Amino acid sequence: MTIFNEKIDRLKTSSVKWELTKEIFGEADLWPMWVADMDFKPPQAVIDAIKNRVDHGVFGYTFVPPSAAGALVDWLLKRHQWKVNPSWLLYCSGVVQAISAAIQSFTEEGDRVLLQSPVYTPFFEMIKKNNRIVVNSPLTLVNEKYEIDFASFEESLQQGCKLFLLCSPHNPSGRVWTRDELLKIGELCLKYNCLILSDEIHSDIIYKDFKHIPIASLSSDLSERVITLMAPSKTFNLAGLQASAAMIKNEGLRNQFHETLSRQGVFSLNTFGMIGMEAAYKEGEAWLKELIDYLQENKEFVLNFLKEHLPEISCVKSEGTYLLWLDCRKLNVTDDELRQLLIEKGKLALEPGTKYGPGGEGFVRMNIACPREDVKEGLARLKRALE
Ligand SMILES: Cc1ncc(COP(=O)(O)O)c(C=O)c1O
């Protein structure tokens, strides 16, 4: 039997997903399929490594040891065929913190920063909170699959964008960008001298027949113009440990990023973050393989359920991530009505599509990283909400 069927009570652990629905959705005790973490334990090796460190009992200042950098670098080579030198690495607590630090490092107030909606909400927020201007080149949905409108993308770059925030793989849709798409993005960004910040936090959960390619790995020109962000948090469910890494080959850019972190007083990782990260990358591969198989089955379960019981809802083709982007536009209800039905009738918390910017209207995002029985419960509530 798979370990992923085990139901773990997360109440009274200060779980955002399970304990903050009142604050976020206005109602307590909603069935939570919203924020992007999993209801699974990480690989046992991660738990053991942290327990060993706890048993040591002294928690003074720590530095990130070369063995942790080595574990990440080996992972990137093995999993993504990307050769990274440990000297390119800089650490941040979270990827969102790194996004903000990159915006501060590589742009000035009033500069334009490009993104592609619908996209992960903090992309917009970090640009705006840093007093930069959002330039949006929306993705286009063709046959239930997001595509890049390269004419619009080029027009946006012509407005003088300094930085492009790429979400690869794409949250909320789970699109895994192809080599050709990434090459075209790279070619245009190089042409218009726009740096690329590639958020690859979802890069390890990729379904059969698809392949994640780090955009920085595509050419030596690109490797000099890309800042890549990765973390073990989505892959191994370690978001609470707050550990992520930026990979920056270009020394000048790396120094600029380092300077921003120093200014913020960021000097190391949380001790448990770095221990969890090292153990996960060293020993988590077999666990991850099993996880992806389980998620693939969850996904198929949802797709079959929708086909049978809620045929008006379609799911955008998901190639990676544990997030499903459900197209509810055929229900002919407004976003407010949909939200109300889900919360009041279904007692179900899904992320409203409007959070992801233009193009998100009429969609909801469902997190399927939970035991199958919990997916079934969520789907029953979805059906009840819409009956
Ligand atoms: C694309 C993307 N980037 C960053 C994050 C969050 O990263 P962190 O928790 O490390 O700040 C998420 C979480 O869902 C995400 O989807």
pLDDT per residue as tens digits for the range 312-369: 999 999 999 999 999 999 999 999 999 999 999 999 999 999 999 999 999 999 999 9
How confident is the model over 220-232, as pLDDT tens digits?
999 999 999 999 9
Beta-carbon contacts of 344 under 8 Å, excluding residues fewer than 6 positions away, are: 27
**Ligand 1 atom closest to the CA of 119, numbered from 1:** 1
Which tokens go with 356? 């992801």
* Exposure string for 131-165, b = 16+ CB within 10 A, e = fewer: ebebbbbbbebeeeebebeeeebeebbeeebbbbb
How confident is the model over 158-202, as pLDDT tens digits?
999 999 999 999 999 999 999 999 999 999 999 999 999 999 999
Beta-ladder partners of 136: 115
Does the Cβ of 34 fall within 6 Å of ligand 1? no
pLDDT at residue 240 above 90? yes
For 162, 164, 306, 370, the CA distances from 157, given in Å and listed in that order, are 8, 9, 39, 40
Q: How many residues does the chain have?
A: 387
Does the Cβ of 116 fall within 6 Å of ligand 1? no
Query: Measuring from atom 13 of ligand 1, which residue has the nearest CA?
Result: 36
The Cα–Cα gap between 190 and 224 comes to: 10
How far is ligand 1, taken at its centre, from the CA of residue 1, in Å?
Answer: 31
Does the Cβ of 36 fall within 6 Å of ligand 1? yes
pLDDT at residue 16 above 90? yes
How far is ligand 1, taken at its centre, from the CA of residue 54, in Å?
Answer: 27
pLDDT at residue 256 above 90? yes
Per-domain boundaries in the chain: 3-43+285-386, 58-283
Amino acid (one-letter) located at 350: L
The Cα–Cα gap between 262 and 228 comes to: 19
For CA atoms 369, 370, 371, 376, give the dihedral sign: negative
Q: Exposed, middle or buried, 109 (CB in 10 Å: 0-12/13-18/19+)? A: exposed
Q: For residue 191, what pLDDT is reported?
A: 98
Find tokens 């941040």 and name the residue.
92
How far is ligand 1, taken at its centre, from the CA of residue 276, in Å?
Answer: 17
Q: What would you measure as the largest C-alpha separation in the chain, in angstroms?
A: 59
The Cα–Cα gap between 212 and 166 comes to: 13
SS3 content of the chain, % helix, strand, coil (to 5): 50, 15, 35
Does the Cβ of 338 fall within 6 Å of ligand 1? no
The Cα–Cα gap between 215 and 150 comes to: 17
Which CATH class for the 58-283 domain? alpha beta
pLDDT at residue 90 above 90? yes
Q: For residue 145, what pLDDT is reported?
A: 96
Amino acid (one-letter) located at 246: A
Ligand 1 site-directed mutation target among 97, 100, 115, 120, most atoms within 8 Å of CB: 120
Does the Cβ of 231 fall within 6 Å of ligand 1? yes
How far is ligand 1, taken at its centre, from the CA of residue 105, in Å?
Answer: 19
How far is ligand 1, taken at its centre, from the CA of residue 98, in Å?
Answer: 10
Residue 55: which pLDDT band, with cuts at 50, 70 and 90?
very high
Task: Give the number of C-alpha atoms closer than 13 A to the C-alpha of residue 33, restricted to the C-beta side.
Answer: 33
For CA atoms 136, 35, 282, 265, give the dihedral sign: positive
Average pLDDT, the chain: 97
Percent of the chain with pLDDT over 70: 100
Q: For residue 378, what pLDDT is reported?
A: 98
Ligand 1 site-directed mutation target among 33, 35, 37, 95, most atoms within 8 Å of CB: 95
How far is ligand 1, taken at its centre, from the CA of residue 309, in Å?
Answer: 32
- Yes or no: say if 34 and 367 are a contact pair by the CB < 8 Å rule: yes
Hey, what's the torsion of the CAs at 152, 154, 158, 164, to 10 degrees?
Answer: 100
pLDDT at residue 267 above 90? no
Does the Cβ of 385 fall within 6 Å of ligand 1? no
pLDDT at residue 1 above 80? no
Does the Cβ of 198 fall within 6 Å of ligand 1? no
Name which of 73, 38, 91 is nearest 274 in CA terms.
Answer: 91
Does the Cβ of 171 fall within 6 Å of ligand 1? yes
For 40, 290, 295, 368, 371, the CA distances from 2, given in Å and listed in that order, are 11, 8, 12, 16, 10
The Cα–Cα gap between 79 and 93 comes to: 23
Domain 3-43+285-386 shares a fold with domain 58-283: no
The Cα–Cα gap between 29 and 32 comes to: 8
Q: Is domain 3-43+285-386 annotated with CATH 3.90.1150.10? A: yes
Does the Cβ of 95 fall within 6 Å of ligand 1? yes
Orientation angle between helical segments 95-106 and 121-129, nearest 10 degrees: 40
Beta-carbon contacts of 36 under 8 Å, excluding residues fewer than 6 positions away, are: 171, 234, 239, 322, 323, 367, 369
Task: Give the number of C-alpha atoms closer than 13 A to the C-alpha of residue 298, restricted to the C-beta side.
Answer: 32
Q: For residue 48, what pLDDT is reported?
A: 98
How confident is the model over 114-156, as pLDDT tens digits?
999 999 999 999 999 999 999 999 999 999 999 999 999 999 9
Q: How far apart are the first and last CA of the chain?
A: 34
- Yes or no: say if 98 and 254 are a contact pair by the CB < 8 Å rule: no
- Count of beta carbons in the 10 Å neighbourhood of residue 384: 14
